[in-house]
Amino acid sequence: MSALFFDDVSVWFGEGRDRVDAVRHANFRVGHGESFGLVGESGSGKSTIMRALTGLAPDWSGRMAVNGNPVRSGHRRDRNFYKSVQMVFQDPYASLHPRQSVDQVLSETLHLHGFRDIEPRIVRLLDDVGLGSAFRFRYPHQLSGGQRQRVAIARALAPEPSILLLDEPTSALDVSVQAEILNLLTDLRAEHKLTFLMVSHDLAVVAHMCERIAVMQAGEIVEVMGVDEMRALTPAHPYTRKLLQASLGYTRG
Amino acid sequence: MTPLLEVEDLWVRFPTRTGILDAVRGVSFTLGRERLGIVGESGSGKSMTGRSILRLIRPPGQVTAAHIRLDGEDLMQKSEAQMRQVRGERISMVMQDPKFSLNPVMSVGDQLIEAWRVHKKGSRSEARERALGMLEAVSIRDPERVMRAHPHELSGGMGQRIMIAMMLIPDPELLIADEPTSALDVSVQAQVLQIMDRLVQDRGMGLIFISHDLNLVADFCDRVLIMYAGRVVETCEADKLHEAKHPYTRGLLNSLPRLDAPQKRLEVLRRDPSWAETPSVRPS
Ligand SMILES: Nc1ncnc2c1ncn2[C@@H]1O[C@H](COP(=O)(O)OP(=O)(O)O)[C@@H](O)[C@H]1O
Ligand SMILES: Nc1ncnc2c1ncn2[C@@H]1O[C@H](COP(=O)(O)OP(=O)(O)O)[C@@H](O)[C@H]1O
Ligand SMILES: [Mg+2]
Ligand SMILES: [Mg+2]
C-alpha cells in the first residue's frame, strides 16, 4: 500500500469548446516516508494534480488513493482526509488571513480537528517550526516572508498529517531563507516520518528534497526518474534533457 | 566619453517612529551601454536604488545624492516636470508584476497605440503599425490577436513581454528592470531575458537588472553590484560572481542547493553586523 496512489488520473476544467485537459492519464505512487517531486514548465499540470487530490479541481477521472483509502469524486474531503493530507502553498502572504494572529490560526485549526489540549500543542508547533512562543501573538504583517512560511507549515502540521503536499514552498523566498525552510522541512520529515509530494520549478531544489521525480509536459507525465539519474543528467526523455539544460543557466540565443 | 549614467553617494531615507531608516546608504556606480545587475536579499535596497534614479521615491521618503547624471545631465537638479519627460522618454522601468502596470479595462492594442502617440505624435494608423512591430520585437507570435486582448486574458509571460514592448516604445537610453522575471517560470524567463538581451545589443541601450536570483544575474549581466542593508558590499564582473569574496555573497551562493553537488543540509547564512557598517564599495 502506498501513501499516495494515482492511477490513470485525468483532470479537466470547463466544458465543450472551453475544455482544458490539464492532466492526462497520470500514473504514479509515492511510498510511505518517500519524498516525490513534480517538475515541468508552468501550465504543465503540476498544481492541478495536487488540487484534484484535495478536492479543489472537481472534474477528474481515474483512481486516487491516500494510504489505501480511495478518494471519492466531488469537492468534499472528510476530516479524515485532512488528518492525513495537508498542503503548503507558494505564497505565504496570500495563504494567511491578515487579521488573524498566529495564535488564532493555529488554535482554529486545532479546534477544527477536535484537539482539546490546544495550549501545549500551539507551543510545540511553534517550537517545531523554529519560531518559538515569542511569535505567538503576532499578525502576518509583523512577520517576514520566511516566518510566514513557518506559520503556514505549523498550521499544516497541526492535524498531525502523514502526508504534506508542497506547491513551490520556497519560490517566493530569498535563497538564504529558502535554505532555512528546506532544512526545516527535511528535519520535520525525519522527525514526523512524513511523506512529501513536492512541486517546484527549481530542479536543484527538487533534487535536494526528493528521491524520485516525475517530469510533466503539457498535462502528461513523460518520465519518472531517480534523483541520481537527474543529477547525472542522464534522463531517458528528450524533454527532461531540455529542462535540465535550461536549468543549468541562461544561454544567450 | 561620458558614461550613460553616473550615480554618486546616493542615500534614501525614511523617517519612522523609531528614527531615520536608511534604505540606501551611499551607493555609487556608473553604467555604460551594458547590463548591470543588482542583487541582494529582499529589503536590501535594490528597488529603492532603481526608483531613486527615476526620482520615484514617494514622500516621506527622501533621496539625496552628490549627483545622478544621465549623459552628463544631473537629474537631481531637474524639476518634476522635466523628470516626467525623462521618465517618459529616456529612462523606462519594468516592474515585477505586469498586472499592476497594465490598464485592466483597455485592450493591449489601445494601450500600445496610446503610449506611442503620447511620445511620437504620429497618426493612429502609423501608431498601430508600430505597436504591431513592437509586439513582434518581443516575440509575440500572433500580434493581431494580442492587440485585441485585455490584460487578464494573457499569461504572466505574455503580460511581461507586453510591458517590455510598452517600455521600449519611446526608445529609452536606459531600461531599469526590477525583478522582471521573478513571477515567471524558468522556461518563460529565458525568453523574456533573450528579448531584453537583444534590445541592449541592437539598440545600444543600458540596462539595470534588479534580481534576487544570483545564478540568473551571473549568467545574464555584464557586471554586478551586491547589496546588503542598503550598501553595496561587493561588485564584480558577472561571470566572476561565483568567485565572489565577500562573506555575504559567499553565504548566499553557498545556501543554494546544487544539482551537481548533493548535500545533506543546506548551508545557512550567518550574518555579521559589520557587513551593514562598512561603507559602500565603489566599482573599479
Ligand atoms: N481553474 C482553472 N480553470 C481553467 N483552466 C485552469 C484552471 N486551473 C488551471 N488551469 C489550466 O490547467 C493547466 C495546468 O495548470 P497548473 O496545474 O496550474 O500548472 P502548473 O502548476 O504546472 O504550472 C494550465 O493550462 C492552466 O491554464
Ligand atoms: N515607505 C517606506 N517606509 C519605510 N521604509 C521603507 C519604505 N519603503 C521601503 N522601505 C524600506 O527600505 C528598504 C529597502 O527596500 P527595497 O529597496 O524595496 O528592497 P529590495 O528591493 O532590495 O527588496 C527596506 O528595508 C524597506 O523596509
Ligand atoms: Mg503550479
Ligand atoms: Mg524590490
**pLDDT tens sequence across A3-57:** 999 999 999 998 887 788 999 999 999 999 999 999 988 788 999 999 999 999 9
At A251, is the pLDDT very low, low, confident or very high (cuts 50, 70, 90)? low
Structure confidence at residue B174 (pLDDT): 94
Of B197, B213, B251, the CB nearest to A252: B197
**pLDDT tens sequence across B14-41:** 998 888 999 999 999 999 999 999 999 9
At A253, is the pLDDT very low, low, confident or very high (cuts 50, 70, 90)? very low
Q: Is some CB atom of chain B closer than 8 A to the CB atom of A201? A: yes
Of A42, A175, A233, the CB nearest to B188: A42
Q: How many CB atoms lie within 10 A of CB B239?
A: 13
Question: In terms of Cα–Cα distance, which of A163, A162, A10 is closest to A73?
Answer: A10
Concatenating the DSSP letter of every residue in B54-109 gives TT-PPTT-EEE-SEEEETTEEGGGS-HHHHHHHHHHTEEEE-S-GGGTS-TTS-HH
- Structural domains present in chain A: 28-59+75-248 (3.40.50.300)
Mean pLDDT value of segment A138-164: 93
The SS3 assignment for A153 reads helix
Q: Which of B22, B25, B47, B212 to mutate to test the pocket of ligand 2 (most atoms within 8 A of CB)?
A: B47
Over pLDDT 70: what percentage of chain A?
97
Q: Is some CB atom of chain B closer than 8 A to the CB atom of A42? A: yes
Does B186 contact A208 at a Cβ distance shorter than 8 Å?
no
Ligand nearest to the CA of A169: 3
For cell 490546544, name the residue.
Answer: A118
Would you tell me which residues 129-158 of chain B have a C-beta closer than 8 angstroms to some C-beta of chain A?
155-157
Q: Which of A13, A46, A220 to mutate to test the pocket of ligand 1 (most atoms within 8 A of CB)?
A: A13
pTM beyond 0.95, yes or no: no
Contact A69, A6 (CB under 8 A): no
Structure confidence at residue B36 (pLDDT): 97
Please, what is the average pLDDT of chain A? 92
Residues of chain B where predicted confidence (pLDDT) is lower than 50: none
Cell representation of residue A218: 503539457
Contact A1, A68 (CB under 8 A): yes
The secondary structure element, H or E, covering residue A30 is: strand A20-30
The secondary structure element, H or E, covering residue A182 is: helix A175-192
Would you tell me which residues 24-43 of chain B have a C-beta closer than 8 angstroms to some C-beta of chain A?
41-42
**pLDDT tens sequence across A57-104:** 999 999 999 999 999 887 788 888 999 999 998 876 677 888 999 999
Measured torsion, CA atoms of residues B261, B262, B264, B269, in degrees rounded to the nearest 10: 40
Report which residue type is found at A229: E
Distance (Å, rounded) from C-alpha A37 to C-alpha A229? 14
Cell representation of residue B23: 534604505
At A252, is the pLDDT very low, low, confident or very high (cuts 50, 70, 90)? very low
Nearest CA in chain B to A173: B42
Distance B49 CA to ligand 2 centre (A): 10
Query: How crowded is the C-beta side of B127, counted as CA atoms within 13 Å?
Result: 19
CATH number assigned to the domain covering B5-90+174-276: 3.40.50.300
At A250, is the pLDDT very low, low, confident or very high (cuts 50, 70, 90)? low
Give the residue extent of every domain in chain B. Answer: 5-90+174-276, 103-171
Does B220 contact A179 at a Cβ distance shorter than 8 Å?
no
